[in-house]
Structure 1
Amino acid sequence: MRRRRNVPGKDPGNLVFGTIGWLFADLMLALAMAFLVATTFGQSVPAKAGRSPTPSPTFRKGLESDPVTITMRVDWQGLMSEKTSAKAEVQKKVRATASLNGRQAGLVLSFGGGLENGTRIARGADAALRELGDQRFVFQGTVYRPFVSFNSAPETLTLDIYLLRQ
């Protein structure tokens, strides 16, 4: 009688039972997933008798999509040097805009004319608007962004004022 020689790692008994072990592990995973899915999509909670849920108001905070645009002639050299008279001129023209009364600005895009000094002119106008905000007119907590208007002369200032929704 000849004996079989045992080759390490080639035990035929482990081949069958090892495969069955993996099968049981896969079935256990499938059962766990089925349990999680079944408990996630449970029954709805019944409403209390006599009370119906009241909807909450829709939150609409943000900026209006259309800005109030003001284009004006300014003392651009005075705005760059922060002269009080140049700032007062901008403030007077902005206060004269009826659509700003009783509102609050969230964002101001200011466009100063001229290639070289456009942003400096716009920053001077922004300083004038900040002073209006300190006086509690429209520009309290407003964000300012100065830009250059390439197609405009230095004495032309354009303000795009985005108001908060009411």
Structure 2
Amino acid sequence: MNPRVSMIALAGWLFADLLLAFSIVVLGTQEPPPKPDEPVAPSPTKTPRQALERRYVEIELSVDPDEARSGSAAAVERLRRAIQDEPGLRGRKAGMVLTFGAQHSGGEGFAHDVNALLPRVDRALFADVATRDFQLLGTGGGALMLNIYLFHDD
């Protein structure tokens, strides 16, 4: 018998030893299971989620950007009339509103000002609504487009 061991045999034993060491490390890092006499914490209850409808209600109107910035009653009333003229919004709750505003100095600021007015326009419809501000291109200052995504009726 040859007293020298081949390199392949040494590599095999080295691989087996490394695999054993790795297994010990992995098993040692795991948390122990709970003891039978310890109460297990109940999983948190899931709150039902509401889903948004895929289709949105689009409202186009014109609002004076200066009135929207100042939060004037005239801007709120103009928005309120446009919302009330839309029959599909009565008694509903909005989940998200994408607001596109056209203003010569940047429409995102105008859209942001309009979104700040929404809770004053209809508190029930726009309670806790998520809003996004966008610039509306290709039209004059004061033009406004609201895309209102509603929650599903259950």
Name the TM-score, length of structure 2 as normaliser.
0.65
**Residue of structure 2 in register with 1:12 after alignment:** 2
**How many Å apart are 1:155 and its aligned residue?**
2.4
Contact 1:115/1:150 (CA < 8 Å) preserved in 2?
no
**How many Å apart are 1:132 and its aligned residue?**
3.6
> Comparing both structures, which one devotes a greater share of its residues to strand?
2
Name the TM-score, length of structure 1 as normaliser.
0.60
**Residue of structure 2 in register with 1:90 after alignment:** 79
Structure number, greater radius of gyration: 1
Q: 1:81 to 1:62 in 2, by over 3 A?
A: same
Q: 1:62 to 1:115 in 2, by over 3 A?
A: farther
Tell me the number of residue pairs that the alignment of Structure 1 and Structure 2 aligns. Answer: 121
Paired with 1:79 and 1:130, the residues of 2 have a C-alpha distance of 13
**Residue of structure 2 in register with 1:52 after alignment:** none
State the Cα deviation string for residues 28-59 of structure 1 (Å, max 9, x = none).
x8xxxxxxxxxxxxxxxxxxxxxxxxxxxxx8
Contact 2:102/2:136 (CA < 8 Å) preserved in 1?
yes
Gaps of 5+ in 1: 1-10, 30-58
Contact 2:77/2:121 (CA < 8 Å) preserved in 1?
no
Q: 1:64 to 1:149 in 2, by over 3 A?
A: same
The 3-state SS of whatever aligns with 1:13 is coil
**How many Å apart are 1:70 and its aligned residue?**
0.2
**Residue of structure 2 in register with 1:144 after alignment:** 131
**Residue of structure 1 in register with 2:92 after alignment:** 103
Q: 1:21 to 1:67 in 2, by over 3 A?
A: closer
**How many Å apart are 1:12 and its aligned residue?**
3.2
Equivalence map 1:13-162=2 (5 Å): 13-15=3-5, 19=9, 22=12, 61-132=50-121, 135=123, 137-162=124-149
**How many Å apart are 1:95 and its aligned residue?**
2.3
Q: 1:84 to 1:117 in 2, by over 3 A?
A: farther
Identity of aligned residues (%): 26
In angstroms, what is the RMSD of aligned CA positions? 2.9
**How many Å apart are 1:14 and its aligned residue?**
4.6
2:144 alignment partner AA: L
Contact 2:76/2:121 (CA < 8 Å) preserved in 1?
no
